Amino acid sequence: MDLPENFSFSQHNLQDYMDCRYRFLLKYVLGIEWPAVENEPVLLQEARMELGNQFHRLVQQYFAGIDPAVIESSIDSDELTAWWRAFTELNLNAQSGEKYAEKLLSIPLANHRLVAKYDLFIRKNDGSYTIYDWKTSLRPPSPMRLMDRLQSIVYPFVLQSYLSSAAQSSGKRDKIEMIYWFPAHPTDPVAFSYTAEQLGNDRDYLLGLVNEITGNNEEWFEKTLAVKKCAYCRYRSLCDRGISAGDLGDEVDSIDSDSAFELDFDTL
């Protein structure tokens, strides 16, 4: 399968591929735009995602050096104010080390690039790194579910690979921790360490996915058999998997700003 010129792999498009090969084909290879049906659940999801986007923007301003009190005065939502106050209690700017907010890193993978955009990572004075990812869903996903997401592989893998190849690396493996932090549940982060042993395994795994995508023809990219995943996919009418969006009920609580186009998979 030929991918578009300048195509880069990311946790989003690889997750799409894992969730539904056909969706990957439609979205990234054929570039088919297909309007999602607007209805009440969809609008509710969009409102949740917009709140998450606002939170990310506030945090970006914080790391750009804007006074937290000034930032808070710009907030006009009680929920966002509560999230913001929980965030400021982390007092991350007081922590020693270099901080990189909304940082994009890219590494070569096969004949392509693999990119990761970090909400924040900190290079601590002892040379270790902590990656933060803000998850603004009302209800935090289970740690097991988070660990199953491609993001939990791609983010530490890209950082470790970048450090290993960059001049600033001492040659030894850098110690990396990743933290999913939930402003609605500030005392329940999900954290894990990335070990040197994982790097080789993850490279093999990711290369396997890339080779699978690039080495197969269109017939390989079949519709998912897990039809539940179609409920909020914008291609569902194109795929004859229903016209109306599914009713997610309480599942809407698990939507965050990362969901974006992929909200169907992030919520199921």
The residues binding ligand SF4 (CB under 6 A) are 20, 22-23, 26, 223-224, 229-230, 233, 235-236, 239, 241
CB nearer to ligand SF4: give 67 or 212.
Answer: 212
CB nearer to ligand SF4: give 64 or 227.
Answer: 227
Question: CB of residue 188 vs ligand SF4: minimum separation in angstroms?
Answer: 30
CB nearer to ligand SF4: give 130 or 224.
Answer: 224
In angstroms, the CA 70 to CA 263 distance is 32
CB nearer to ligand SF4: give 26 or 176.
Answer: 26
Nearest alpha-carbon partner for 199 in 139, 153, 142: 153
Nearest alpha-carbon partner for 26 in 224, 245, 235: 235
CA 182 to chain centre: 14
CB nearer to ligand SF4: give 29 or 239.
Answer: 239
Question: CB of residue 219 vs ligand SF4: minimum separation in angstroms?
Answer: 15
CB nearer to ligand SF4: give 22 or 180.
Answer: 22
Question: Is 221 strand, coil or helix?
Answer: coil
In angstroms, the CA 130 to CA 121 distance is 5
CA 96 to chain centre: 26
Helices and strands in the chain: count of H runs, count of E runs: 9, 6
Question: CB of residue 38 vs ligand SF4: minimum separation in angstroms?
Answer: 17
Nearest alpha-carbon partner for 27 in 46, 41, 52, 10: 10
Cβ-based neighbours of 264, under 8 Å, separated by 6 or more:
229, 230, 231, 232, 233, 234
